[in-house]
Structure 1
Amino acid sequence: MSHATGVNFPDVIRQNGLYKVGILLLVALCLHLIGRSIYSAFFGPLSKFPGPKLRAITQLPRCWMILTGRDALDTVALHKKYGNAVRLGPATLSFVGTPEHWRDIYGFKGNGQLENPKDPQFFENPKNGQANLIYTSQADHQRQRRVISHAFADKSLRQQEQLLKSWADKLRTFLRQKIEAGETIDMVRAYNYTTFDVMADLTFAEPLYMLDKSEYVPWVETIFKAIRISTRIRAIKSLGKSIGAFINILFMRIPSINKRRLEHWGYTAKRVDKRLAQTPVRPDLWTRILESGGDPHAPESSFPIGEHHAIAAIFMIGGTETTATSLSGTTYYLLRNPEWMEKLKTELRGRFKSLEDIQFDQLTKLPILTACLKEGLRMYPPVPIGFPRAASSNCMIQDRFVPEGTSICVSQLATYRSESLFKHADEFRPERWLGDPEFAGDVLTALEPFSVGPRNCVGKNLAWHELRLLLTTVLVHFDLELCPESKDWNNQKVDISLHDPDFDDEDG
């Protein structure tokens, strides 16, 4: 009722038939959306890809799987049922990573083929609006990669051997002190303390001192919480572009989330600025970046300070927890398979008596060590989901046309649990990497934990040095035993890259 005019608007609408028209329009819209979904599921260009028909009609089932941390395992089950290509949603395809699938989705392009860009529904723009290696244009990525790759070249990393060994020594001291105190050791935390300290030292010329304090610093806790929050955001954004845009705006207005976001970026920026204002006593990652044309203060610099901040944030997420997760998974499976633990210890202790004897060159020549680490990455990939791309306008995957904008990915865990690629795929069998004839049919090139193509992980060399050095340090000096409560430790829910036993714990 309008008190000023005395007009009853609902009566006016009813008298003029507009009310009924509105209802009819709403019903028509709903029928249109339902009809379009059904057409897409049964007759659209993606209808030829197998998968549950409910998944082809609506994104809700996958949204729920992501929210509950079961997306990776659910995708494994779907691939086992439907094959190497599965339709996970109305416009979402997942592939088992045959070499051809890796190449067609992520690989270098030629002959007029366009790169499949990062899926904007999954990846977020850097919080400071600057380009970074993860989600940026092809031109910006190439420009940054040319500079940053020098810091992660094997020649540069070998100059960091003594620094990395000093952190391996700190890990050894940390474990020894815990043992002398009669404490049970959480190896996940021990590995995370180490990898975060290493990356902070390499990036900022100053560690976080977590091995000294035996606890996560608030900044790292914020990173872990951000990973959990981003999983929820990713799930809801998967429902559609409009919903995704709304959710981004909504979440950024939640004080606690915005506070964590600003704290993370503020802390990163402060550390980068402090590092750039000094000349460290030893070369670090930023030394090589500055030497290679990345000085933000140089005349006509093409690498502004904001990009340094954005890239440092990537280093502190992508080069830390993932390496610790790989070490944790490999250690767990070695403990669950004591015959391989003994074989590896025999190889390592036969070559090294202590940390002081360990050299990078020698570590790369140990076949059982490499086999166990590769099998650990296969059984427990640090990023078990797939990093999605948006299909380009001329996207072809094994001679099958995929419509532009379709979300496409190689699902890592589904790839590594595929019997078509790996015999006894659900078993920890390092001998597959040692030429055992039983596994002659394995497609070993399907293992790509660092992805492939022009946007693969720039820190791959560093990760391998850390994996070899830290696992060797632990097993040369200590005998480990799996706690009874950790027997089924691998059955965890997943936050994008964080295998999280406390998935449902809001406070982490």
Structure 2
Amino acid sequence: MNVTASHLAVAIALVIASKILYNIYLHPLRSYPGPKLWAATRLTWTHAMQSGQYHRKLHELHTRYGPVVRIAPDELSYTTPDAWRDIYGNRSIPKNAVWAGQEEQKHPVSIVSTNEETHLRNRRALTGAFTEHAIAEHASVLEDLVGLMVTRFKESITSADGKTVVDLVDWTNFLTFDISGLLSYGTSFSSVSHGRAHPWVEISCSFGKGIALMASINFFAPLNRALKFAMPKSVMEKMEYHKQLAHEKFMQRLAMDDGRGKQDYVGSIMAYNADKGEVKIPDEEIEANMTLLIFAGSETTSTALAAVLTQLLQAPAALESLEKEVRAAFQSEEDINIESVARLEYLGAVIQEGIRMGPPASIALPRVTQREEIVAGQRVPSGTFVSVNQYPTFRSPSNFTQPDSFIPERFLSGSPFGSDRLEAFHPFLMGRHKCIGQKLALTIMRLTLARLVYAFDMRVVQTVRDFGEQNTYIFWEKKPLRVELRLKAGSSGAAA
């Protein structure tokens, strides 16, 4: 028996060694640059993903090896503008089911389905909630919640003798989750009103960690069935809590008057079904979409706001320029609304530059080739995972001058960096899977930043030097952004 066990161990070792040697020296991707350890086995990739520093490791690899790097036996990462078009603009390179981990034969599908027909059907049903007309309908929701947050800050300043310190990471989370709750389920989580996080806000990072872990585990079939039990119990409990609460909220929304029309996401889908004269999106799919959108719509927008504020508050010249633009454009806070802030050019540049330095989707969900394709001028064999990862792309000196510096002027018409390759900048993706909520997210960001800059003089108290220094597990593990607020000089009640 011992002899048999020894023979089995030797056989397994030989198979593993043969596979590693094949991956390094004989695999169709062997000619692509990259470290041998990453090319040998998917384990190196997995370790990087679970470290939270995957985005920075990719940046290091691209800095060393160039615009295309082999980051796993069967995966390539790109940072060139043409790779965006070749990968995400190519309908024959679909999303991969392994990375997403969707078991669509067992679970309801949604807008993130790997099946193109299902994705398109759900996207069309939700489009009504994200048009410019719909955003105008959402105006009162957005303006009231942002206004309430500003009021809470002013109340804190008044009670604290002229200044207060707030954590803007917390408050932007409160704000965007409240907005997402109203637009997803017709009810707010009241985080802004109460000044504290709803439990759903607190599980967002754990939710991202869970997705990252499952993405890693799914590559090790058939062992993935056993490895799923390695998921931390606390993460599983939080994901189950999220699922139960999402169901409760959805049932409450269904019980509301359908006269809400396209005022929220559920209303948009119901209107789509009504227009088609049949149930194109059944209730279980609507619920799946809401479970997704409550995080996708809130966590990414709050992260973008945190990234912008983190860098802006450490760039005195940029902050001063933004203050001048905003305060010159409005005579009172009541004049600041979603329509008026859209005209502020420098504000738009500040947002773009902040997202460049801290993209909410820093890690790409790779596509997979179904046949031999040409990507960035090179042949890529069938079955290869390919992606443009935003963090290394946006920080590449080949794409941007002084890539680690916050310089909003690069996004203005008179940019001092005419050689910047702005065509490499696609923070909301491109093609048929481009973020459906781009206009809404930008509207929330413009409105929030304008109201903050107009009302307060801000001074950073505690932050990270560079937003990208933090960990990311699909969602960013954001550290506090503690900021001292005073009413702007000359405003009513401002401290001398």
TM-score normalized by structure 2?
0.89
> How high is the sequence identity, in percent, across the aligned residues?
28
Check conservation: 2:350, 2:408, Cα contact below 8 A: yes
- Counterpart residue number, 2:346: 368
Distance 1:52 1:242, change over 3 A: same
For 1:373-400, what per-residue CA distance to the aligned partner results, in whole angstroms no more than 9, with x for missing partners?
0000101111211221222224331342
Unaligned runs of 5+ in 2: 481-496
Q: How far does residue 264 in structure 1 lie from its aligned partner after superposition? A: 1.2
Q: How far does residue 417 in structure 1 lie from its aligned partner after superposition? A: 0.6
- Counterpart residue number, 1:243: 223
Name whichever of 162-171 and 493-502 sits farther off: 493-502
Report the AA paired with residue 308 of structure 2. T
Of 79, 83, 96, the residue aligned with 1:101 is 83
Q: How far does residue 25 in structure 1 lie from its aligned partner after superposition? A: 4.9
Of 390, 404, 417, the residue aligned with 1:412 is 390
Q: How far does residue 218 in structure 1 lie from its aligned partner after superposition? A: 1.6
The number of residues matched between the two structures is 475
Structure 2 distance, partners of 1:191, 1:318, is 14
Does residue 49 of the first structure (1) align with residue 32 of the second (2)? yes
For 1:329-349, what per-residue CA distance to the aligned partner results, in whole angstroms no more than 9, with x for missing partners?
111111111101010110011
- Counterpart residue number, 1:358: 336
Check conservation: 2:38, 2:70, Cα contact below 8 A: yes
For 1:261-303, what per-residue CA distance to the aligned partner results, in whole angstroms no more than 9, with x for missing partners?
33211211221221122116753232222112269xx974121
Give 3-state SS (helix, strand or coil) of 1:86's partner: strand
Give 3-state SS (helix, strand or coil) of 1:94's partner: strand
For 1:43-68, what per-residue CA distance to the aligned partner results, in whole angstroms no more than 9, with x for missing partners?
32111111111111122322222222
Give 3-state SS (helix, strand or coil) of 1:439's partner: coil
Structure 2 distance, partners of 1:425, 1:311, is 36
- Counterpart residue number, 1:310: 288
Check conservation: 2:96, 2:366, Cα contact below 8 A: yes
Structure 2 distance, partners of 1:128, 1:179, is 52
Distance 1:281 1:293, change over 3 A: closer
Does residue 466 of the first structure (1) align with residue 447 of the second (2)? no
Check conservation: 1:57, 1:89, Cα contact below 8 A: yes
Q: Answer with 1 or 2: which has the greater Rg.
A: 1
Distance 1:100 1:493, change over 3 A: same
Does residue 279 of the first structure (1) align with residue 260 of the second (2)? no
Check conservation: 1:205, 1:280, Cα contact below 8 A: no
Of 400, 413, 416, the residue aligned with 1:438 is 416
Does residue 92 of the first structure (1) align with residue 72 of the second (2)? no
Structure 2 distance, partners of 1:88, 1:129, is 31
Report the AA paired with residue 139 of structure 2. E
Check conservation: 2:130, 2:436, Cα contact below 8 A: yes
- Counterpart residue number, 1:321: 299
Name whichever of 224-233 and 308-317 sits farther off: 224-233
Report the AA paired with residue 290 of structure 1. M
Does residue 142 of the first structure (1) align with residue 142 of the second (2)? no
Structure 2 distance, partners of 1:323, 1:485, is 19
Report the AA paired with residue 107 of structure 1. G
* RMSD of equivalent CA atoms: 2.4
- Counterpart residue number, 1:392: 370
Question: Structure 1: which 4+ aligned runs deviate by more than 6 Å?
Answer: none
Check conservation: 2:101, 2:214, Cα contact below 8 A: no
- Counterpart residue number, 2:486: none
Structure 2 distance, partners of 1:281, 1:39, is 62
Give 3-state SS (helix, strand or coil) of 1:185's partner: strand
Structure 2 distance, partners of 1:330, 1:258, is 32
Of 152, 161, 169, the residue aligned with 1:188 is 169
Give 3-state SS (helix, strand or coil) of 2:99's partner: coil
